[in-house]
Amino acid sequence: MNTLIYWSATFALGCYALALGIATVRLLRGPTAADRVLALDTQYICGMLILLVLGLRVDSSLYFDIALLIALFGFVGSVALAKFLLRGEVIEP
């Protein structure tokens, strides 16, 4: 692996881990429910990006498949939480 790619991937992992920590703080201390939902969205996006960078760094396609699953489940969870916050229920009778 090229040295430039190695160090840039390491820097990107550090930045994403820092963003994940800041989102965790916002999730725990968020004043409103909407802030907590946005922090949770940020967490799953950062987790997905961490897996993508790790997949590039170790040259394995398994990380890309896991990142795709995280993106799908994160989107469905975001839609469900947004609907719950707007209407108070996820499944309408």
Q: What are phi and psi of 32, to 5 degrees?
A: -125, 165
| Average pLDDT of the residues in 83-87 | 84
The model carries a pTM of 0.84
> Which tens digit of pLDDT belongs to each residue from 40-71?
999 999 999 999 999 998 888 899 999 999 99
Ordered structural domains, the chain, with CATH: 3-87 (1.10.287)
Core vs surface per residue 11-33: b (16+ CB within 10 A) or e: ebeeebeebbeebeebbeebeee
> Which tens digit of pLDDT belongs to each residue from 16-41?
999 999 999 999 998 988 899 899 99
